[in-house]
Amino acid sequence: MTTGTVQGLEGVVVAESTKSLVNGIEGKLIYGGYRIEDLAENALFEEVAFLLWNDRLPNKSELEGLRQTIAAEASVPDAVIEMLKVLPKETNSMAAVRTAVSMLSPYDPDAENLTDKDVAQRKAVRLTGQITTICAAWARIREGKEPVAPRHDLTLAQNFIYMLTDEEPDQTSSDAVNVYLVLLAEHGMNASTFTSRVVTATGSDMHSAVVAAIGALKGPAHGGANKEAMKTFLEIGDPARVDEWFQTEVKQKKRRIMGIGHRVYKALDPRAAILKRHAKALAQSTGNTKWFEIANRLEETARADEYFIERNLYPNVDYYSAIVLYTLDLDVDMFTPLFVMARVAGWTAHIIEQMGGRLIRPKAQYVGETDLAWVPLEAR
Ligand code: ACO
């Protein structure tokens, strides 16, 4: 580490925010004053989005109004769907979603309005609906199926299941997606949210900030960890192989277990605890318990190991969400786009909070040479 620098900006406070409190020591998470456990148990994703955008819970008619508006605004321009259809089928799903979201901006009448916070909130509502449609459309297009248009009578979680399957959404799947979306909607100054605020602080537009955030979320150290965690469980393949895999891959080859560890949480991520319960219930209700058993056994093995104990390494939100999403029959490459569907609520809330704020421009500690003599090209 270089003197005067904070590697990875750990612990540096870069903004005041009313959106969420992440207490990494006690393993607590609060959105706008409300405990994540209460929100996961009781709230619709739309209710949480309203809370993040307005700093208060909606009443009944406000909630129904927001649900209807998101559903009504969820249609995406035909050109965006056509663009998704011409992408190579093996395109990384996050690259497809990132490209589609970028392409929404020329069709958004308010795209270049950079100052009005009411307009920004309308854009946030629109983007939240449209991103769900894009994710479901891409999931079908990459399998050679026609996309399904959103319905106006459904919640966002139901609409996603409907657009994904072209069937009436069932309660268990919609509830599981809703809980997932609530838990992933917001999380303080994480890497993608910070990215969105940096872009916004230059005076740039909401679509640019969300596209940049999607790019940050794609990385395996951040949102990309959910699909990497599932790939690990698939690689292990059998609960009986967990111990051997841990000894060989983690202890000998020093591989990281994806979905474990967190910059802020030095206790169990409260979202992981909730998702673990849902993953277990879903596994039992479908009769497919293998993946949950592998994940659970790997967690127990890691948590009994001195290395993981000393470094306070616990499962994070991506660990058991991988099991939930896999049990819902979602392709592994679609896991991180689902994270986008949820986190767009938090990103846009932070973008609106950041609008009009000061340019974010830290410094680098220059550690290179300063007095080199110029060498002409022919002499190098
Ligand atoms: N498996 C094994 N060892 C780990 C793991 C892991 N998953 N995570 C961290 N460690 C070890 C590191 O090797 C390091 O050990 P050392 O002190 O001997 O060098 C120590 O724990 C601290 O790790 P850092 O990388 O310094 O912690 P940092 O805060 O920079 O990184 C991160 C946090 C990126 C999440 C890390 O724990 C990781 O790579 N986890 C796996 C990827 C993952 O699950 N990401 C999702 C995070 S949640 C989210 O973004 C939605």
Pair 204, 239 in one domain: no
Please give the tally of structural domains in the chain.
2
Structure token digits, residue 367: 């550690």
Pair 213, 229 in one domain: no
Q: What is the pLDDT of residue 15?
A: 95
| Any ligand 1 atom below 6 A from CB of 313 | yes
22: Cα separation from own chain's centroid: 16
| Any ligand 1 atom below 6 A from CB of 257 | yes
The answer to whether residue 34 is domain-embedded is: yes
Residue 191 CA: nearest ligand 1 atom is: 50
Question: What gap in Å lies between CA 24 and CA 115, rounded to an integer?
Answer: 34
The total of other beta-carbon atoms located within 10 Å of residue 230's CB is 25
Domain that includes residue 50, residue range? 20-218+340-354
Pair 84, 170 in one domain: yes
pLDDT (tens digit per residue) in 255-296: 999 999 999 999 999 999 999 999 999 999 889 999 999 999
The answer to whether residue 371 is domain-embedded is: no
From the CA atom positions of the chain, what is the Rg in Å?
A: 22
Closest CA to ligand 1's atom 19:
311
pLDDT (tens digit per residue) in 325-346: 999 989 999 999 999 999 999 9
Pair 315, 169 in one domain: no
Which residues, 6+ apart, have CB-to-CB distance to 139 below 8 Å?
93, 164, 330, 331, 334, 337
Q: How long, in residues, is the chain?
A: 380
Pair 144, 38 in one domain: yes
Angle 93-104/335-354 helices, nearest 10 degrees?
A: 40
Pair 183, 230 in one domain: no
Distance 230 CA to ligand 1 centre (A): 17
Which residues, 6+ apart, have CB-to-CB distance to 297 below 8 Å?
239, 242, 243
The answer to whether residue 365 is domain-embedded is: no
Q: What is the pLDDT of residue 120?
A: 97
pLDDT (tens digit per residue) in 192-247: 999 999 999 999 999 999 999 999 999 999 999 999 999 999 999 999 999 999 99
Pair 182, 231 in one domain: no
Pair 263, 345 in one domain: no
Closest CA to ligand 1's atom 4:
256
Report the CATH number at residue 84.
Answer: 1.10.580.10
pLDDT (tens digit per residue) in 9-51: 999 999 999 999 999 999 999 999 999 999 999 999 999 999 9
Distance 22 CA to ligand 1 centre (A): 17
Percentage above 90 pLDDT, the chain: 97
Pair 160, 35 in one domain: yes
Q: Are strands 28-31 and 20-23 parallel, antiparallel or unpaired?
A: antiparallel
| Any ligand 1 atom below 6 A from CB of 261 | yes
pLDDT (tens digit per residue) in 147-202: 999 999 999 999 999 999 999 999 999 999 999 999 999 999 999 999 999 999 99
Count of alpha carbons within 13 angstroms of residue 366, beta-carbon side = 3
Pair 230, 214 in one domain: no
